[in-house]
Amino acid sequence: MTHPERTLELIDTQSGGDVSRIVTSGIEPLPGKTVLEKARYLQQEGDGLRRLLLSEPYGDPAMSVDLIVEPHHPEAQAGYIIMEAMGYPMYSGSNTICTATALLQSGAIPMVEGEQQVVLESPAGLARIKAVVRNGRVESITTQGEPAYVAEEGLSVDVPHYGRVDFDLVWSGAYFALVDATQHGFHLNREEEIALTAFGDAFVRAARPGLLEEHPELGNVGPLPFAHFMGPVRELGEGRFESPSATYVHPGVICRSPTGTGTSARLALMAQRGDIHKGESLETISPRGNRFIGTCLGEEGQVGQYRAWNSHITGRGRIIAHSRIVVDLEDPLVDVSDLEHLFSPHP
């Protein structure tokens, strides 16, 4: 008789308050050569894993999941597939910070005191990472993902109950709609989270129809998943700025961190408009008061027909739990239709 239980080994981490669950074992190798191919297989044939770990009773939609997989690129030390409430983003700053921290502190990637370079393969391509290690702990992660670009400027949509909302569409691992929060009376503090979530939900639903879903190199990337709300920019010193920021993940999540990809999208828009220059930095502050530092690295060239911009995102990840999840395949709360075939055989 087939044993009805399967197990998953997890390392739960957080960066800027956003929890990423790193799945280190329990899942069979996925078809596909590149991490992008593996991610698309998982999305089409194994989405039950994402739903299981982001839903009650096993998880919460505000979390993220990162599945460790074999990399394809010879420079990469590991691959990772990112799963969130909205689906499968190609790249994520906070998830990269958390995944790198978990792999280093667990010993999956040997940790070296001081500074060391780590290369991970995301579905979008290589993430080049600088880790700072002090006394056997990862103190900071600085990650450079793929170039960001401004896809469309000066867009607007009529949102029921809210009126006209102006926005710009920027690619940074996924498409972000960048919205000036001050135009809609938001200060981007914690007390506004419920109202901001309702606004984000109504906005994304209204903005999606007819909006760009293609990436010049990655193909179809699906409907708009993120809105990034921008507060006023304040100068801290020469070449240093800060700004309140909030990222909405559809459906229904305001991130605890300001998000790395949201910060990169903001930097690309500012750089294209001449509001920030190479070597200058923007510190984004989430409604919970958590911060990431984004540094503009200058113009990369082009992605397709778009001017593209590189940036560094610096933050810190912390391990909050090591766990083994037991999945009962006979539990009526577990949908095994696109999940059971993913598990490693029970011993």
What does the pLDDT average to over 188-196?
A: 97
Q: Is the pLDDT of residue 145 over 90?
A: no
Checking if the pLDDT of 296 tops 90, the result is yes
The average pLDDT across 328-346 equals 88
Span 269-279, pLDDT tens digits: 999 999 999 99
pTM: 0.93
User: With contact defined as beta carbons under 8 Å apart, do 176 and 168 qualify?
Assistant: no
Helix (H, G, I), strand (E, B) or coil at 334: coil
Catalytic residues: 92
pLDDT tens sequence across 95-117: 999 999 999 999 999 999 999 99
Q: Residue 186 pairs with which residues in a beta bridge? A: none
What pLDDT is attached to residue 1? 42
Question: How many helices (DSSP H) and strands (DSSP E) are in the chain?
Answer: 5, 20
Pairing of β 78-83 and β 114-122: parallel
Domains of the chain: 5-145+319-342 (3.10.310.10), 148-315 (3.10.310.10)
Q: What percent of the chain is modeled with pLDDT above 70?
A: 99
- Joined together, the tokens standing for residue 240 give 């240093």
Distances (CA, A) of 41 to 123, 124, 177, 232: 12, 15, 27, 41
Amino acid type, 13: T
pLDDT of residue 2: 63
CA 149, 152, 154, 158 dihedral sign is negative
Please give the mean pLDDT across all residues of the chain.
95
Say if CB 43 and CB 88 are below 8 A apart. yes
pLDDT at 146: 83
Six-digit token string for 5: 């239980």
Peptide bond connecting 29 to the previous residue in cis, omega within 30 degrees of 0: no
